[in-house]
A and B are shown apart, each in its own frame.
Chain A
Amino acid sequence: MSELRVLLVEDDEDHVFLIRRAMREVDGVAVAVQVASSGDDAVRYLDFRRELRGAQPDIVVLDLRLPRMSGFDVLRSIRENPAFSAMPVVVLSSSEHPDDRDQAKALGADDYLCKPLDGGQLRNQVQDLIRRFAVPEAV
């Protein structure tokens, strides 16, 4: 079973810890998580991987409120680059604002998930997400 490569774009260290832990615990799925703590870091990472002709992430989990470069900008630059245009991007944000959800969809996000307050719920949500994208290779 191959490894699911995840690029987690998240500046909050606690959230990174909690999300990585939740992803690790998905039964039968090996998840390799690469964390970018800012938007420009994420874009640089993707460009670097492309130049190295290395494997690209199977999924990008993107927070919206990021330092220097927002999640929307990251999403936009991914979708504008033909090399990444088909890459699945899921927004995982604290914001419940409908405008944010609409804008993310408009920019090409594959899904928009609100970070739930309950720790258990967050764990379940992240694990559901991993299973969803791991399924084709898992079968």
Chain B
Amino acid sequence: MALTFRNRVWQRGASALERLVEVVQAEEEPACVIDRRGVVVVANPPLIELLGLGDDGLTPRLGYLASGPFELEVVTALFEKQHQRHRGTVRCTNQRTHEPLWLKWDFSASADGRGRTSHAVALVEDQTGRINADSHVRILQYLITAAARAKDSQDLLYAAAQVLCHFTGCGLGQVWLPDGDWLVCSPVHYAHGYELEHIRRESLGARLRAGQGITGLAWSTGETEVAIPGEDLVEEDRAETLARAGVSEVVAVPIRTSTGVAAVLEMFVSRDRAPIDRAALIAKVGVELGELLERRLLNDALRASEERFRAVSESAVDAIVSADGAGRVVSWNKGAEKMFGWASHEMVGRSLTVIIPERLRAMHNAGIARVAAGAPSTLAGTVVELVALRRDGSEFPVELAIGMFEGVDGRGFSAVLRDISERKAAEQALRASQERFRAVSESAVDAIVSADSAGRVVSWNKGAEAMFGWSTTEMVGHPLTVIIPERLRAMHNAGIARVAAGAPSTLAGTVVELVALRRDGSEFPVELAIGMFEGVDGLGFSAVLRDITERKAAEEAVALASREVERTNAELETLIYSASHDLKSPMVSVLGYLEYLKVDYGQMLGVEGERYLERMTDCTLYMQRLIQDLIELSQVGRRRGEPEPLDLAVLVGRIIDEVGASHPDTTFSASDLPVVLGDPVAFRQLFTNLIENAVQHGDRRDLAVEVTARSLPGGGAEISVRDNGQGIPDQYRELVFGVFERLDGSRAGTGMGLAICRKITEQFGGTISITGTKGTDVRIVVPPSMVRHAAAAPATLAAAPRSLGPTPGGAEIIDLTTRTSEVPA
């Protein structure tokens, strides 16, 4: 259409001005005609409407409608330089509404009859919408750039104030920040020139309640609020200041983030500097600014978080590693360097698979791929135990906590790995120990029970189930008191409380006998071994209980038998005591009468009669000896004299003296006898019996009796009483130790001598036996505890005994007194 209009002007050539005016007047688009001075000759109604021109018919100059410089520019181009066309977009103002307008003027020259340009026709296009949209975009571009440059969110708010002031012609922009219930005017502001400086001074540090003034209102409503001083209600005290400063509008823009209004931007529009209705633009920018600010705040938080992360990560003993969606390492802390043996610079950018054992890599890669494809991670947010690979190829157990995050470049993983080798080893040891305990506990016949410090059952084995009749499920977690008889419970609870309060347990580590209670209410004796241990939850008790019903019964039977034996022994002793008197008395009488019979009537009886009397006397005396030996046998061990050091050389020497006196043909010798700790009466009886036995049963005139000793390896001594007599056949060597056992029919012995000897040796813990191939060799073993001086070494044997030569009686006596000095005091 514009072209059509131009063509018509063109075709008419130097037609009359009237025809130009006619065409312009008929044009539907805004259009006008100017003369060579820049005066608008005619403006058609659409242009009059667009510019808000009055109906007064005045034709203003182009300079008034657009701007002086533009008028000059157009006149010069068209009328001086004779350009056929000239175009320009200029900011104009609707004269009635004062709205800013962006108008594109397209001038075409119109020649007069002489071919000179006399007028120009302008087609005017309203570009305001487009330009405004453009400026919004440009503001945003500035803001984004400023935001990118800003160090932090405060810096961004400053940049925003600056950009908005520039684009809207505001003289001042200041930032209000919420502080609890108050909105505080912050130091962040931008002032264009000095006109509004006093407003700024008055505002700094001011505090507003929600809904107070337009700023407070914007804060509470979250909507942009605009006020015109003098018309709208602005804070009364500021109204005058604002009016004086020529502020035409105050715009409060809330900067909204997802968490609410983060700041309120207060912009002051000066009447003489900026076109009105900046509010819409500012409000629109406010929304964008909110988003920018939010991102900036997040960024700040992220950076702080990253700082913290790095600090934590670098100081951590754990390996802290992050990787991108493809499984390539993004960060690798010092802990990881130490744990795996790979340096950070070696690992960053590299695949994580190097720390994964070969056999697990396929699984790992599959997982990475699955998650990269959008599937949810099965590991993220969990803690798992895995095996990891060190640089040196060794494997070790790790605890792995994985987190996923959405990064700028897609999904990423962060992992915290902890070396749990030691924990694993400890766990394994614990498990093994628990397993052993369980195995022992379950197979045990004893009840094995553990309880916590409050006396509640923690474990209860099969033995306990069988013993008490309560199952594990019934007992665990319940107090132990159910197995304690009512009357003992108070004591038990007091003990538990005492130990729980920190007192040492009187039972721990000991074995005691107690009474326990079965489920059926029956009581039974138990042996109780209690241990205490320090568990995870404090002190605990473990107890092993053994049912000792049978043992108790056996013990009672033994005690009963023992009492019976004691009673019998006492009876026996009484019997023997009686025997020693009651049997002896008649014999004393018989022997007494025999004596007087011999004295008074011996002559009358004759030789034969006297022989009968002798036989009667012998028989009575033999009977008396039998009784005497029986008494002695029963008395062995009953006399409990204090053991004293006995020099056997001295003791045996005296016995040899006594016995030797009545056996002149026998040779005696004694050597190397030790000093022993023992009952002197028993030892005297022992050696007397043995030496008399040897003499009585030797059955040869040149009998030799030898008493010697030798040390035994363990410290004991073996004493030998040896003769060269007829000896004892092998089959009788044990028999002869029995009571009344005699191998010949003579009345030389009562058959109780060796029985008494055996009883004596057994009494002191030794042994006695018979050996010997030539003659009889009785060997007595004296235990180490009784030997004070070991027998001398065999080498000294020959020198030690000193023969005194034949005694007057004929027996050879060995002098043993030289050893007396060795007897301890």
Stretch at the interface among B79-87, B141-149, B193-201, B577-585: B577-585
**B594 → A minimal CB distance (Å):** 6
Q: A15-B588, A117-B620 are in contact. Are A94 and B580 (CB under 8 A)?
A: yes
Q: Is B584 in contact with A117, judged by CB distance below 8 angstroms? A: yes
Q: Is B595 in contact with A12, judged by CB distance below 8 angstroms? A: no
Contacts of A93 in B (CB 8 A): 581
Q: A18-B593, A97-B577, A97-B580 are in contact. Are A117 and B585 (CB under 8 A)?
A: no
Contacts of B591 in A (CB 8 A): 117-119, 122
Minimum CB distance partner of B589 in chain A: A14
Cα-based distance from A115 to B584 in the complex (angstroms): 9
Minimum CB distance partner of A123 in chain B: B595
- List A residues 1-46 near B (Cβ within 8 Å): 12, 14-15, 18, 21
**A95 → B minimal CB distance (Å):** 5
Minimum CB distance partner of B576 in chain A: A97
Contacts of B586 in A (CB 8 A): 14
Identify the 3 closest CB pairs spanning chains A and B, nearest first. Answer: A119-B595, A14-B589, A18-B592
Contacts of A12 in B (CB 8 A): 585, 589
Cα-based distance from A93 to B581 in the complex (angstroms): 8
Contacts of A122 in B (CB 8 A): 588, 591-592, 595
Minimum CB distance partner of A97 in chain B: B577
- List A residues 85-106 near B (Cβ within 8 Å): 93-98
Q: Is B589 in contact with A21, judged by CB distance below 8 angstroms? A: no
Contacts of B587 in A (CB 8 A): 117
Cα-based distance from A98 to B588 in the complex (angstroms): 20
- A residues apposed to B, CB below 8 Å: 12, 14-15, 18, 21, 64-65, 93-98, 115-120, 122-123
Q: A95-B577, A97-B577 are in contact. Are A119 and B594 (CB under 8 A)?
A: yes
12 CB-based A-B contacts, threshold 8 Å: A14-B586, A18-B588, A18-B593, A94-B585, A95-B577, A96-B580, A116-B588, A117-B624, A118-B621, A119-B593, A119-B595, A122-B591
Q: A118-B595, A119-B595, A122-B592 are in contact. Are A15 and B585 (CB under 8 A)?
A: yes
Minimum CB distance partner of A11 in chain B: B585
Contacts of A123 in B (CB 8 A): 592, 595
**B342 → A minimal CB distance (Å):** 97
Minimum CB distance partner of A118 in chain B: B591
Minimum CB distance partner of B581 in chain A: A94
Contacts of A65 in B (CB 8 A): 581-582
Q: Is A117 in contact with B580, judged by CB distance below 8 angstroms? A: no
Contacts of B624 in A (CB 8 A): 117
Cα-based distance from A113 to B589 in the complex (angstroms): 16
Cα-based distance from A12 to B585 in the complex (angstroms): 8
**A118 → B minimal CB distance (Å):** 6
Minimum CB distance partner of B598 in chain A: A119
Contacts of A116 in B (CB 8 A): 588
Cα-based distance from A12 to B572 in the complex (angstroms): 24
Minimum CB distance partner of A19 in chain B: B592
Contacts of B594 in A (CB 8 A): 119
Minimum CB distance partner of A22 in chain B: B592
Q: Is B593 in contact with A14, judged by CB distance below 8 angstroms? A: yes
Cα-based distance from A96 to B580 in the complex (angstroms): 8
Contacts of B596 in A (CB 8 A): 18, 21, 119
Q: Which of B592, B594, B639 has the most CB of A within 10 A?
A: B592
Cα-based distance from A21 to B600 in the complex (angstroms): 12
**A73 → B minimal CB distance (Å):** 16
Minimum CB distance partner of A65 in chain B: B581
Cα-based distance from A14 to B595 in the complex (angstroms): 13
**A63 → B minimal CB distance (Å):** 9
Cα-based distance from A75 to B624 in the complex (angstroms): 28
The bracket for how many chain B residues form the interface is 20 to 34
Cα-based distance from A15 to B639 in the complex (angstroms): 30
Cα-based distance from A20 to B589 in the complex (angstroms): 13
Give 9 new A-B contacts, CB below 8 A, not counting A14-B589, A94-B584, A118-B621: A14-B592, A14-B593, A18-B593, A93-B581, A115-B584, A117-B621, A117-B624, A118-B591, A123-B595
Q: B554-597 toward A: CB 8 Å interface, digit per residue (1/0)?
A: 00000000000000000000000100111011111101111110
**A47 → B minimal CB distance (Å):** 28
Q: Is B589 in contact with A95, judged by CB distance below 8 angstroms? A: no
Contacts of A97 in B (CB 8 A): 577, 580
Contacts of A98 in B (CB 8 A): 639
Minimum CB distance partner of B635 in chain A: A97
Contacts of A96 in B (CB 8 A): 580
Q: B347-363 toward A: CB 8 Å interface, digit per residue (1/0)?
A: 00000000000000000
Cα-based distance from A129 to B49 in the complex (angstroms): 180
Contacts of B577 in A (CB 8 A): 95, 97
**B623 → A minimal CB distance (Å):** 10
Cα-based distance from A65 to B587 in the complex (angstroms): 16
**B259 → A minimal CB distance (Å):** 110
Q: Is A117 in contact with B588, judged by CB distance below 8 angstroms? A: yes
Q: Is A15 in contact with B589, judged by CB distance below 8 angstroms? A: yes
Cα-based distance from A123 to B592 in the complex (angstroms): 8
Contacts of A117 in B (CB 8 A): 584, 587-588, 591, 620-621, 624
Contacts of A115 in B (CB 8 A): 584-585, 588
Minimum CB distance partner of B620 in chain A: A117
Cα-based distance from A14 to B585 in the complex (angstroms): 9
Cα-based distance from A98 to B681 in the complex (angstroms): 13
Contacts of A18 in B (CB 8 A): 588-589, 592-593, 596
Q: Which of A94, A98, A122 has the most CB of B within 10 A?
A: A94
Q: Which of B582, B585, B586, B624 has the most CB of A within 10 A?
A: B585
**B534 → A minimal CB distance (Å):** 61
Cα-based distance from A54 to B581 in the complex (angstroms): 35
Contacts of A120 in B (CB 8 A): 595
**B637 → A minimal CB distance (Å):** 15
Cα-based distance from A93 to B585 in the complex (angstroms): 9
Cα-based distance from A49 to B269 in the complex (angstroms): 159
Contacts of B589 in A (CB 8 A): 12, 14-15, 18
Cα-based distance from A64 to B580 in the complex (angstroms): 13
Contacts of A118 in B (CB 8 A): 591, 595, 621
Q: B530-554 toward A: CB 8 Å interface, digit per residue (1/0)?
A: 0000000000000000000000000
Q: Which of A117, A118, A122 has the most CB of B within 10 A?
A: A117
Q: Is A95 in contact with B593, judged by CB distance below 8 angstroms? A: no
Contacts of B595 in A (CB 8 A): 118-120, 122-123
Q: B194-230 toward A: CB 8 Å interface, digit per residue (1/0)?
A: 0000000000000000000000000000000000000
Q: B615-649 toward A: CB 8 Å interface, digit per residue (1/0)?
A: 00000110010000000000000010000000000
Minimum CB distance partner of A100 in chain B: B577
Contacts of B580 in A (CB 8 A): 94-97
Minimum CB distance partner of A95 in chain B: B581
**B95 → A minimal CB distance (Å):** 156
Minimum CB distance partner of B584 in chain A: A94
Cα-based distance from A97 to B580 in the complex (angstroms): 9
**B631 → A minimal CB distance (Å):** 8
**A113 → B minimal CB distance (Å):** 12
Contacts of A64 in B (CB 8 A): 581
Minimum CB distance partner of A21 in chain B: B596
Cα-based distance from A65 to B588 in the complex (angstroms): 15
Cα-based distance from A96 to B593 in the complex (angstroms): 22
**B640 → A minimal CB distance (Å):** 12
